[in-house]
Amino acid sequence: MVDGGSINVDHQLKEAFPGLEGPGADLRRLRVNILTTIYDVVDFKLDVDFANIREIKDNWIGLKNKIPVLGYIKFGNMKEPFSLEELTSSTNITFLERSLPTLAFAPGRDIGLMLNNAIFDERMTWAAGSFWNTRSFSNLGEGTDRISDANGYNLSARVTGLPWYEDGGKRLLHLGLSYSHGVRDKNKEVIFSASPESHLKDDTLVDTGNLFVNRVDLIDTELVMVLGPFSLQGEYYHAFTGGSEVGNLRFWGGYLQVSYFLTGEHRIYDTANGIFSRIKPKNDFHPLKGTWGAWEVAARLSYLDLNHGGDIKGGQETNLTLGLNWYLNPNIRLMFNYIRAHVEDRKTYPPVDKGNANIFQTRLQFAF
């Protein structure tokens, strides 16, 4: 994934984040992975990202076949079962980056043991696991191993259901619920923050700063409706912490997005895992044959509130994102996003009373 674009900011954000404005380019991901089966019994996956820094993403082993009642078992570094948007691969999400609350709250990858299964003819999925908390609660440095300095552990679970599923997934209603209970060392910091849904620069426009708590509980609800080329998707997150010097803290956020395929395709739903997979155009791009791939337009409204009373003022951010995706074939996608980011009421350094940013960004994605 190769990104390029430009960020324009108003006076307030320019003073608070001097390096935010201007053009930027980013080798967002350069990932190579191996997925194999050993002796027809054990699956093994290794996924390494060579963009910017060498970073191990997935590194796990698991039983190939289901165990009655327990389902599939995996151990290693993997995503915790939490959030539809987080669990959907970055190659298959609708926008360049995940939404504000997903960036801030989703646990992401940790080392642990997980069980998962699909039941009732794959109309329902469940997953649960225990994980060392090997990364801070920040979208920066996602997946970085911190085993020797793990800040407690997480018990995470997710369940999804398909009360309505027709025409092989062309029409469906998806419901999901995730919960994560985390125990923390009060001598180590916890941070909630999010980039402005762009990776061109490193600034996080909302940020709680270091919090010292002994507990983090996360709840996420999911709703998706697909009606042929049209889809609607949303999630609502709530974070609760306990044991801080200023009492129990609460933060929340959510997003709602819509998309429409101008060329008649529909989003592909993976019933075995309760997530979305790769888009396959009806006709690949071939100008000599008069075919132009798949075209998708999309819009998303996301909100993140990292303020708690007068004690913690990490700021509030509202983003409106407009997107255009061109799928030349199942392996190549060109993307364009316009993001209008509005930040207010941030008191943590650097403080921002009210500020706005306009982000124009494109991506060339090649996945095979």
Over residues 336-356, the mean pLDDT reads 97
In sequence order, the 6+-apart residues with CB closer than 8 A to the CB of 266 are 169, 170, 226, 228, 229, 231
Query: For 172-190, how does the pLDDT look when each residue is reduced to its tens digit (9 = 90+)?
Result: 999 999 999 999 998 888 9
For 199-225, give the DSSP string.
Answer: -SS---SEE---B--SEEEEEEEEEEE
Q: Side chain identity at 212, as an amino acid letter? A: F
Q: What is the pLDDT of residue 141?
A: 39
What are φ and ψ of residue 100, in 5° steps?
A: -55, -55
Query: For 208-221, how does the pLDDT look when each residue is reduced to its tens digit (9 = 90+)?
Result: 999 999 999 999 99
Q: How would you class 347 by CB atoms within 10 Å of its CB: exposed for 0-12, middle for 13-18, buried for 19 or more?
A: middle
Domains and CATH numbers, the chain: 2-366 (2.40.160.10)
Over residues 97-125, the mean pLDDT reads 96
Q: Read off the pLDDT band of 54 (50, 70, 90).
A: confident
Tokens at 358, concatenated: 């306009």
What H or E segment, with its residue span, contains residue 55?
strand 55-63
What H or E segment, with its residue span, contains residue 69?
none
Average pLDDT value for the chain: 93
Over residues 263-277, the mean pLDDT reads 97
Q: What is the pLDDT of residue 146?
A: 54
Q: What is the pLDDT of residue 69?
A: 86
Report the largest interatomic distance among the alpha carbons of the chain, rounded to a whole angstrom: 67
Cα–Cα dist 73/63, whole Å: 6
The single-letter DSSP state of residue 286 is: B
* pLDDT at 142 > cutoff 70: no
Q: Between residues 127 and 189, which one has the greater pLDDT?
A: 127
Q: What is the pLDDT of residue 140?
A: 37
Sign of the Cα torsion 218, 169, 90, 120 reads positive
Q: Read off the pLDDT band of 136 (50, 70, 90).
A: very low
Q: What is the pLDDT of residue 246?
A: 80
Cα–Cα dist 132/154, whole Å: 6
Share of the chain above pLDDT 70, in %: 96
Q: What is the pLDDT of residue 187?
A: 84
Residue 323 · residue 197 · CB < 8 Å:
no
Over residues 93-116, the mean pLDDT reads 97
Q: What is the pLDDT of residue 134?
A: 83
